[in-house]
Structure 1
Amino acid sequence: MLRKGILPILFAVLISFAGTRLVACAGPAWPSDEERRFLDAYRDSVTAGATDDQFAHADKLYVEALQVLSENYVETIDRASFVESSIAALGEIETEDKTPTGIVGAVLDDSLHNLDPHSAYMTDDMFRRLQESTEGSFAGVGIVIALDDEKRIRIVSPIDDTPAARAGLRPDDRITHIDGYQMTGEPISEAVRRMRGRVGDPVTLTIQRVEESFDVTVKRARIEVPSVSAGVIDQDIGYIRVSRFDATTLDQTQEYLSELESRISKPRGIIVDLRRNPGGLLDSAADIADQFLTDGLIVATEGRGERKMRSYEADRADYFDKVPMAILLDRGSASGAELMAAALRENGRGVIIGERSFGKGSMQRIMPLTSGGGLKVTTGYYTTPENHIVQGNGVIPDIEVIRADAEEFEREVDLDHALPSRRRDPRQALAKLDAKSCEQDIEIERLGKNNRENLEQETEGDEPPYRDSVLECAVGYFDDGPLAMYRNQVEPLLRAGL
């Protein structure tokens, strides 16, 4: 079970890949006089002994990267200012890799982050991890981990039917070493890097369990990470939660929606839960929105100078046609989750309940470089069917539910170098209510074996049972709860496309 302490960590990792596309790019041009200034300057930061070939490779990396930025970045790049930023970064970067490519890569990453929080330089290893994050699976041992107060790697939970679970690893075990490497004080990313690898290769974990310490050797396997869960609420309300958008999410969603329709003969409503969904593949988010829409624009993209780039039109509506819908959002809903919710509302399909979302409405493309590695570059903004831009604004719910225990963390506009907001949706919440005012007991039948998240949570000791009061409010929208009074106001507006 994910605890509150690691949700921001996982969210921060995932949000950096939200709305990403992979494209190829052209080769580099000869360095300009401005670029030559950096190429001369960085040599003083390189460890002695670097070869001419290593310098030539790193020079090519920098020149090609700046060319790609100039041609593709969402705003016009001032090349002279970018070079100045790169030279200034030489005295501030912290990297153990002092080779020419290591220095240039670190400088590029720093300079790209100064453009916006989502642009970055990526090594070949980062490319591999990004692919895994969008494929919905990875080669590893199958555990969820976090750092404890002493900066030790703590096992939050093993994933069912994985090498870690079969080896008997337990929640609250500490991993002190991985293949003999001391892990205390190391970041989560380093532990992930060392545990992942090729399918079938062994990895040895040294486990601290209370006072006992022992080694466990497991073989890495392909770990499938479900992104969809579902259930039936009070026998006639369908519930489906999408936690991210990857290459497998559409198939999972269709499977659960088919099962829900077969289980509920006369559905009173359908709840689509996008809380804490950080986004992912745009195609996946658009395809899932399309499951509920017969026609209309789902999302479009806008590039430099408000140039229209691409649009996604609906043509399916295979599931729960004409059944009233509630979409749940919170401050952790970002990118594709925000766009899907806006598309459903602006096409008159459903009402949004919860909190204003994160506000990440920019699009990134992954551009491999011929000199190795690549760039994650912000190339555009997403626009909703009514031509609003989510970037910096977020999506305002129709019915805002205020939680006393809401976690605080930064939204997009709070991030350093965040891109500016544009064309905000002028609508405001129709109603605001305290979450406790609509708490009610609901009966949930979970579907499948991976459907614990958000449908129930375990409690420890004498803590009161966990209540998902926002979900309970949404159920009340379909019955006689406090939100029912708004249903007659909202539904006509939705049908009119307002």
Structure 2
Amino acid sequence: MLRKGILPILFAVLISFAGTRLVACAGPVWPSHEEQLFLDAYRDHVKVDATDDEFARADKLYVEAVKVLSETYVEQIDVPVFVQNSIAELDGLEVEDPSPTGVVGAVLDENLHALDPHSAYMTPDMFRRLQESTEGSFAGVGIVISLDDEKRIRVVSPIDDTPAARAGLQPDDRITHIDGYEMNGEPISEAVRRMRGRVGDPVTLTIMRGKESFDVTVKRARIEVPSVTAATIDSDIAYIRVSRFDATTLEQTQDYLSQLQSKIAKPRGIVVDLRRNPGGLLDSAADIADQFLTGGLIVATEGRGERKLRRYEADVSDYFDGVPMVILLDRGSASGAELMAAALRENGRGVIIGERSFGKGSMQRIMPLTSGGGVKITTGYYTTPEDHIVQGNGVVPDIEVLRADEEEFEREIDLAHALPSRRRDPRQSLASVDAKSCERDITMDRFGGAVEREKAKAETDDGKETDAEAFRDSVLECAVGYFEGGSLANYRNQLEPLLRAGL
């Protein structure tokens, strides 16, 4: 069992990125003189029929939020300036909910976002959905959706053995209405909100399939969303992909690692794929890193003034001990994925192949407020075993793979109000290789009922649809080449001694 350090955590939750903690806020709070100025000012911007109880709840919301912000934010907050900014925000404020809590919540959200991209106010509904996302399951119909070029809701694929799949929904179906509400031009988040609900409650989807339109009524069910897939490559290389870190990811990982060990008598290597992994629960990311480490520091946290807060130490590796490892990262790998990769490399366990990662290395806490909802506040930075910080820097791969289809991409440091970087890892890539230079034919044998090979499709130049498996994963093929003979394997002789020396 992973040792978690000396500061207990009550609960951990995430929005897209790792390291968010739930902390209760309790006890009476009273407005300061500056805060009272805002409480007086916002009353002119709410609906005219607001009650005294609504005002009291909103007043408490604001004062509580400022209190926890001033006590826990990663940098010292100038409260009078924060309050003045809140007052200035009122004149240009546009809100859908003109109630007192709606106005105060919107002001808080704007001013928290002005501190950094990850601090925010959360309504009670947002807080509930956040908890669902970290549990690895939710109540819905079981489909993956996207927006098409005409901003219509497109079904990418139904999830196996869910109400949507049993109702016969198909890839490329368009959802035009949900319970009679027209969805054309609506964001994906609105479609998700309307399709989710209580288990057993029905929802009616109006489907456009070609020129045919029809209604499908399905009952919502608990949808389990796997976060881990696994395969064998060329029969003797283990492959495991972790797409996020939630409450069920460790159990899934251990199950697949056990299966991989039973399938491969003499493994030549193991590939841990963390590409496009946006993070998740920090405890989950640290626990999964621990499956490969016999000891050492995995990750630590530091707060205001670089004060050290927590340490996550490894116990004993259970899986593929001594087997050469490659960790795959790309620009979409963030937070927990970056920290796990850095921990494995800095403990001498594996090499990183791919792209420099996103660079999100800050820690957030979710603090529920007694007035309803909560605030998500950045409270610290994560540090790697060698005391580097990935915030704004990302993790640099040992072998960088250059892709011809590479596009411009914003990383953490490019976001508005991004926190500054600190103590970057001085490592540079040992080599940069063109993805096409190490393409090879590989055979992947995927397994597990929840990880059947995706049947995604893509369009070719002639407009015909073709199986997406026809497109090469050249970065993965480069990783396989690291274990074999050839140009990329030449770097193994340089990297492995560095790993063993802890460099």
TM-score under structure 2 normalisation? 0.94
Counterpart among 487, 490, 494 of residue 485 in structure 1: 490
**1:476 equivalent in structure 2:** 481
Partner of 1:446: 446
Residues 366 and 377 of structure 1 are in contact (CA less than 8 Å); yes or no, is this contact kept in structure 2?
yes
From the superposition, tell whether residues 467 and 166 of structure 1 become closer, same or farther in structure 2 (CA, over 3 Å). Answer: same
CA displacement at 1:93 relative to structure 2:
2.6
> How far off is 1:458 after superposition?
4.1
Distance 1:177 1:456, change over 3 A: closer
- Please name the residue that 1:372 is paired with: 372
After superposition, residues 140-179 of structure 1 pair within 5 angstroms as: 140-179=140-179
Whether contact under 8 Å (1:27, 1:64) holds in the other structure is no
Alignment correspondent of 2:185? 185
Deviates more, 1:329-338 or 1:44-53: 44-53
Contact preservation (8 Å) 1:15, 1:334: no
- The alpha carbon displacement at 1:16 in A equals 4.1
Cα separation, 2, equivalents of 1:459 and 1:180: 31
Inter-partner Cα distance in structure 2 for 1:277 and 1:481: 29
Write the distance in 2 (CA, Å) between the matches of 1:267 and 1:148. Answer: 43
After superposition, the C-alpha distances for 1:358-400 in whole angstroms (9 at most, x for unaligned) are: 0000001110001111011111100000000000000000000
> Is the partner of 1:94 in helix, strand or coil?
coil
> Sequence identity of aligned pairs in percent?
80
C-alpha change, 1:458 and 1:207, in structure 2 (3 Å) is closer
Look up the equivalent residue of 1:392 and give its one-letter code: G
> How far apart, CA to CA, are the structure 2 residues paired with 1:213 and 1:174?
9
Contact 1:457-1:466 within 8 A present in 2 as well: no
Q: Would you say the 8 A contact 1:459–1:466 is kept in 2?
A: no
Structure 2 Cα separation of the partners of residues 123 and 17 of structure 1: 19
d(CA) in 2 for partners of 1:409, 1:129: 28
Secondary structure, in 3 states, of the residue corresponding to 2:226? coil
Give the distance between the partners of 1:343 and 1:411, measured in 2 at CA: 21
- Give the partner amino acid of 1:209: R
Please say which of residues 132-141 and 93-102 is displaced more in the overlay: 93-102
How far residue 91 of structure 1 moved from its aligned partner, in angstroms, is 2.1
In 2, the alpha carbon distance for the partners of 1:404 and 1:188 equals 30
**Aligned match of 2:6:** none
Determine the C-alpha separation between the residues in 2 that align with 1:106 and 1:55: 15
Aligned to 1:216: 216
State the partner residue of 1:99: 99
In the other structure, the counterpart of 2:269 is 269
Contact 1:356 1:394 in 2 (8 A): yes
Q: Is the 8 A contact 1:231 1:447 kept in 2?
A: yes
Shift of 1:452: 5.3
Superposed CA RMSD: 1.4
Alignment of 1:321-360 (within 5 A): 321-360=321-360
Amino acid across the alignment from 1:343: A
Unaligned runs of 5+ in 2: 1-13
In 2, Cα distance between equivalents of 1:459 and 1:482:
31
Paired position in structure 2 for 1:5: none
Question: Do the aligned partners of 1:16 and 1:118 also contact (CA within 8 Å) in 2?
Answer: no
Say if 1:260 and 1:456 are closer, same or farther in 2 by CA, change over 3 A: farther
Q: CA 1:107 to 1:462, structure 2 compared with 1: closer, same or farther past 3 Å?
A: closer
Whichever residue aligns with residue 175 of structure 1, its letter is I
Q: Matched residue of 1:96: which SS?
A: coil
In the other structure, the counterpart of 2:203 is 203
Give the whole-Å Cα distance in 2 for the aligned partners of 1:178 and 1:113.
31
Paired AA for residue 480 in structure 1: G
Could you tell me whether the CA contact under 8 Å between 1:28 and 1:60 is conserved in 2? Answer: no
Contact 2:457 2:465 in 1 (8 A): no
- Cα separation, partners in 2 of 1:53 and 1:368, compared to 1, 3 Å: same
**Match for residue 8 of structure 1?**
none
Mark the CA change 1:417 to 1:271 in structure 2 (over 3 Å): closer, same or farther. same
Give, in angstroms, the shift of residue 187 of structure 1.
1.2
Task: Measure, in 2, the Cα distance between the counterparts of 1:53 and 1:62.
Answer: 15
Q: Please name the residue that 1:236 is paired with.
A: 236
Q: Report the CA distance between 1:202 and its aligned residue.
A: 0.5
The CA deviation string for residues 434-476 of structure 1, in whole angstroms up to 9 with x for no partner, is: 00000000011111134356x8864442769200000000000
Q: CA deviation at 1:114?
A: 0.3
SS at match of 1:276: coil
Matched, 1:137 2:142: no
**Counterpart in 2 of 1:70?**
70
Tell me by how many angstroms 1:152 deviates. 1.4
CA distance, structure 1, for counterparts of residue 465 and residue 151 of structure 2: 27
Counterpart mapping for 1:5-154 below 5 A: 16-154=16-154
Residue 437 (structure 1) aligned with residue 442 (structure 2):
no
In 2, Cα distance between equivalents of 1:94 and 1:405 = 40
Q: Secondary structure at the match of 2:449?
A: coil
What is the CA–CA distance in structure 2 between the aligned matches of 1:233 and 1:469, rounded to whole Å?
Answer: 14
For residue 55 of structure 2, give the secondary structure of its aligned residue in structure 1. helix
Q: Structure 1 residue 49: deviation in Å?
A: 1.0
Find the aligned partners of 1:482 and 1:249 in 2 and give their Cα distance. Answer: 35
Aligned to 1:426, the other structure's residue is in SS state coil
Distance 2:175 2:208 in 1: 6
Aligned residue for 2:294? 294
Aligned pairs, number? 484
Residue pair 1:335, 1:360 contacting (<8 A) in 2 also: yes
Deviation per CA, 1:234-278: give whole Å up to 9, x if none. Answer: 110000000000000000000000000001011000000000000
Q: Distance in 2 between matches of 1:72 and 1:16?
A: 21
Q: 1:42 aligns to what SS in structure 2?
A: helix
The 8 Å contact of residues 456 and 466 in structure 1, kept in 2 or not, is answered as no
> Secondary structure at 1:54's aligned position in 2?
helix
- What CA distance in whole angstroms lies between the structure 2 residues aligned with 1:457 and 1:45? 49
Q: Which residue of 2 aligns with 1:466?
A: 471
Secondary structure of the structure 2 residue equivalent to 1:258: helix
Distance (whole Å) between structure 1 residues aligned to residue 407 and residue 125 of structure 2: 33
Equivalent position of 1:4 in the other structure: none
- Tell me what 1:306 maps to: 306
Q: Sort the Cα spacing of 1:457 and 1:406 in 2 relative to 1 into closer, same or farther, 3 A.
A: farther
Cα offset, 1:407, TM superposition: 4.0
Distance (whole Å) between structure 1 residues aligned to residue 144 and residue 455 of structure 2: 18
Question: Equivalent residue for 2:5?
Answer: none
Letter of the structure 2 residue corresponding to residue 483 of structure 1:
L
